[in-house]
Amino acid sequence: MSDEYEGALAAHVMEALGAGTADLAGLARTLGEGGPPLPSGAPWTAGDLAAELARVAEVPPKTAVARSVTSDYDAERARRPARADASPAGDVEARTEFLLTYGLRNQWYVVAASAEVGDKPFGVKRLGEALVLWRDENGAVHAVEDRCPHRGAALSIGEVHEGQLTCAYHGVRVDPYAKVVAVPGLPGCPLEGKTLTRHYPVIEHYQAIWAYFGDARHQTPPPLELPEELVSPEWTGMLHHDTWNADYRYVIDNLCDPMHGPFLHGKTYTQSRGPRTDAVKVLEKDGSFEVFREGQRGVNLDWMEFVLAGSSTYARVEIPMPPNAGPGGIMGIIFYTTPVDEAHVLISVWRLRKVSGWQRDLWHFLFRARIRGFVDAVLAQDIVALGTMPPWPAQEHLYGHDAGLTRARKHFREAAKAQARELLLEPVS
Ligand code: FES
Ligand SMILES: [Fe+2]
């Protein structure tokens, strides 16, 4: 179907929604009065419109899963020797700084979009570590360290054979647990059967792949606790996945900072409304904290929640949507942040609404045809601003509106210190 037809359909429907028409029959009627004709040439009816929306919507499947997902980490993996990550040896302070710079361990992080990983090796850097991901013949995703156990060539330049990775340099093959299963140049050599590099437990769910980064004391992953929006059939949305040129800590700060909305985003789709002067409050909850504007709610970027308990960390943001974006109330955002290195961060953002039936199809169609462009333009402003920030440590003079990011930084520092102390000081049980 032509972009021109879809563009005209979306524009017409958004105009009707903006004028107050919100039911299927009313939308079909307005399409009959000057909208693009149905491809079949038939007159628009409510049934035809529902069928047309279903056809153009591209709704991603959401297989029902529990909020808490356990990886296929099995007994064999648990017996593997733990491999140390690339952290500086030494004292608690150095380890704490390492964790703050490259990301807390013993957590699940989004490492790739499902669509990025196929049957060819896919190399990425996450938390300062090089990983290679691939799918086996059953479609299951695996991840190991992107370093050949022989002499260190990147496995991501190799090939996948029978679900296993073959190094390009001398053909050494490793399995999904990073065990050397073949040395074709010298069969029977002592490398065979050894596990000399890291493997990462992975979970794939709703357009994304998470990997678990355990330290030497926490190789067995806890269940991945997913936000309700990514599990409940009531919510539906699309993943936006990108790498930004910024220290990940600036993104965390940004997610705890509602008062940048009316300034940085003040001229965009939804964010020009409301006063630009307000107070910021932080509300402690069980396993999360909320950051919000005291003087308004549901107007703009005025409320966010940072979830930091459990086995992963993410933010939840509510974006009020104008009538021309259709039914469904606020757009919910689930925002995962994955450190790449000191200067890059992977962001994984779901934009979701609570809609079903034809309204779900309408949301996906309008989002793809028009609304994604608007909301991506908002993120583009964040990219520009964060890209100008100095390398960490931040150079800053905080004021009252920075209460949210101050709270987040406290959490990360305390958690990093606790992980460092446990790793380095507590006796091995
Ligand atoms: S470096 Fe990979 S097989 Fe030699
Ligand atoms: Fe922003």
* Chain segment 287-340, per-residue pLDDT in tens: 999 999 999 998 888 999 999 988 999 999 999 999 999 999 999 999 999 999
Instruction: Return the ligand 1 atom nearest residue 149 CA.
Output: 2
Sign, Cα dihedral of 382, 383, 388, 392: positive
**Among residues of the chain, what percentage have pLDDT more than 90?**
85
pLDDT at 71: 76
Given ligand 1 and candidates 169, 191, 196, which is best to mutate, with the most ligand atoms within 8 Å of its CB? 169
Q: Residue 106: pLDDT above 60?
A: yes
Which helix (DSSP H) or strand (DSSP E) does residue 414 occupy?
helix 403-424
Bridge-partner residues for 108, per DSSP?
Answer: 212
SS3 398: coil
> Which of these, 9, 69, 66, lies nearest to 35 by C-alpha position?
9
Cα 341 to ligand 2 centre (Å): 21
Cα 382 to ligand 2 centre (Å): 5
Residues in the chain: 429
Task: Determine which residue's CA is closest to atom 4 belonging to ligand 1.
Answer: 170
pLDDT digits (tens, 9 = 90+) for 370-383: 999 999 999 999 99
Q: Round to whole Å and give the CA distance between 183 and 185.
A: 6
CA 215, chain centre distance (Å)? 22
Cα 143 to ligand 1 centre (Å): 18
Task: Determine which residue's CA is closest to atom 1 belonging to ligand 1.
Answer: 151
Cα 154 to ligand 1 centre (Å): 9
| Ligand nearest to the backbone CA of 185 | 1
* Contact between residue 214 and residue 112 where contact means Cβ atoms under 8 Å apart: no
Instruction: Return the ligand 1 atom nearest residue 152 CA.
Output: 1
Average pLDDT over residues 358-378: 96
Q: Cite the DSSP H helix spans in 81-195.
A: 92-102
pLDDT at 2: 77
Cα 258 to ligand 2 centre (Å): 8
SS3 307: strand
Q: Residue 175: pLDDT above 80?
A: yes
Tokens representing residue 420 in the block = 């460092």
Q: Cite the DSSP H helix spans in 58-174.
A: 75-78, 92-102
pLDDT at 87: 62
Instruction: Return the ligand 1 atom nearest residue 171 CA.
Output: 3
Q: Cite the DSSP H helix spans in 200-331.
A: 248-255, 261-264
Q: Residue 52: pLDDT above 70?
A: yes
**Average pLDDT value over all residues in the chain:** 93
Q: What are phi and psi of 194, to 5 degrees?
A: -95, 150
Cα 168 to ligand 1 centre (Å): 7
Ligand 1 site, CB within 6 A: 148, 150-151, 153, 167, 169-172
Q: What are phi and psi of 209, to 5 degrees?
A: -125, 125
Q: Round to whole Å and give the CA distance between 89 and 293.
A: 43
Q: Residue 28: pLDDT above 60?
A: yes
In a 10 Å sphere around its CB, with 0-12 CB exposed, 13-18 middle and 19+ buried, how is residue 138 labelled? exposed
Cis-peptide, bond into residue 322, ω within 30° of zero: no
Q: Residue 84: pLDDT above 80?
A: no
Average pLDDT over residues 276-288: 96
pLDDT at 78: 56
